[in-house]
Structure 1
Amino acid sequence: MIDSYIYVIIALLPLAALILVFQVNPYDALIIRAILGAVAALVYAVLGAADVALTEALVGTMLAITLYVVAVRSSLVMRLGIVKGLDAETDSGFTKLISKIRQTIDKYHLRLELVEYPNKQALEWALIGKEVHAICSKSEQLEPDSEPTYQASIRVHRLFEIMQTDLTSSKITLTYITVPDLEGKH
């Protein structure tokens, strides 16, 4: 007869699966998925299926979670192109802007990657060539002593929506641009 502790362990499977379904943060979901795989491997081992338990532990838990981590880590990034020389040491307004962008995209579990380009033309070509998701540059100042303003062009509509709702400042102008798909058309 199966001991009562096995029922408790088996009850953890649907509970962990239910918790997994309702996760918003992808990293938390990966942890719950690993726990689900470990519990399943434990159940298989207790029920006498050592080969299935070993396969679940190695492939279903360790390998799958490792691959998921790599996929999630590489896909949840916003690449922001900037002109080289526009940095924290020379421009405190830019530092505040980057901090605000990071704070905004952190809510969606994205990370910000700054990509530097030598000039504004290279920056615009990077956006058109889909090397970056958005570009940010300093706007031309009409008055020499005024606070700098920035122009951001975003080619991903969802990122534009996120930025538009959270970056409401007179110091930045957001623009959504559509980039034609140059590769698929012959």
Structure 2
Amino acid sequence: MDSWMIGVTALLPLTALMLVFQDNPYHVLVIRGIVGAVAALIYAILGAADVALTEALVGTMLSIMLYAVAVRSSLVLRLGILASALSTDSLDRLLEAIREAVAPYHLRVELIIYPTFEQLKIALRDREIHALCAEETTQLLTMTRVPRLYTLLKPHLTNLTELVYYPLPTEKESRA
């Protein structure tokens, strides 16, 4: 075996290890593409052109496209807010604090605007949004139905808003 062949073959386990230990899901997509390309190269060098073509098309291109769609759609925090609270400075500071709190987890914040507080609560109950922000008399109120989100936001939002965990009723409770 030539020395360059050993080098190319050593790339596969190295890139696979990089893939396993990566935290950022977007970096995982890129490294997964590299793993597929290296595998296709090894198959082509060893004379399995049909397997190399299949790996290049399915293992690299198609799977990366499907993973990208799944990652993009799943890493979103849908935050419902009242239309009347859009232009307040306190809401801007709160949104900045929320973005800062969820940034290490690669979540993006998507704002969904509702005209009334009742519609906002219904959206939270119906699982259309993960959390809501509304302005009470003098302070902002933030409610979430996701326990993990509550624990992530609590240290960052204590002086900006009243953070409340709003557990949704279970199937049994809602039927009763």
Distance 1:159 1:177 in 2: 11
Distance across 2 between alignment mates of 1:82 and 1:135? 6
Report whether the alignment pairs 1:131 with 2:120: no
Pair 1:185–1:48, CA change in 2 (3 A): farther
**Structure 1: 5+ residue stretches without partners:** 142-148
Amino acid at match of 1:140: T
Note the alpha carbon deviations across 1:104-142, whole angstroms, 9 max, x for none.
11111101000111100000000001100000101113x
- Separation of aligned partners in 2, 1:130 and 1:12: 44
2:16 alignment partner AA: A
Residue 140 of structure 2 corresponds to 150
1:97 corresponds to which of 84, 89, 94: 94
TM-score by length of 2: 0.94
Tell me how far 1:184 sits from its aligned partner.
Answer: 11
Query: TM-score, normalization: structure 1?
Result: 0.89
- Note closer, same or farther for the CA distance 1:79–1:53 as it changes in structure 2 (3 Å cut): same
Name the CA shift for 1:19/1:180 in 2 (closer, same or farther; >3 Å). Answer: same
Alignment of 1:26-175 (within 5 A): 26-87=25-86, 90-141=87-138, 149-169=139-159, 171-175=160-164
| Cα distance per residue 1:14-47 (max 9 Å; x no partner) | 1111111111111111111111011001111111
| Distance in 1 between residues matched to 2:28 and 2:157, nearest whole Å | 28
- How far is the alpha carbon of 1:96 from its aligned partner? 1.3
Cα RMSD of the aligned pairs, angstroms, is: 1.6
Secondary structure at the counterpart of residue 55 of structure 2: helix
The residue type paired with residue 56 of structure 1 is E
Q: Are the structure 2 counterparts of residues 57 and 184 from structure 1 closer, same or farther at C-alpha, using a change threshold of 3 Å?
A: farther
| Post-superposition CA distance 1:144-173 (Å, at most 9, x none) | xxxxx210001000011000122231x301
How big is the shift at 1:181?
Answer: 3.8
Structure with greater helix share of residues? 2
Amino acid at match of 1:172: T
Task: In structure 2, give the amino acid aligned to 1:60.
Answer: G
Structure 2 unaligned regions, length at least 5: none
Q: Secondary structure at the match of 2:109?
A: strand
Q: Which residue does the alignment assign to 2:166?
A: 177
Question: SS at 1:107's partner residue?
Answer: helix
Q: Which runs of 4+ in 1 moved over 6 A?
A: 183-186
DSSP-derived class of the 1:85 partner: helix
Show the counterpart of 1:144.
none
Aligned partner of 1:137: which letter? A
Tell me the secondary structure at the aligned position of residue 24 of structure 1: coil
Residue type of the alignment partner of 1:155: R
Aligned-pair CA distance for 1:84: 1.4
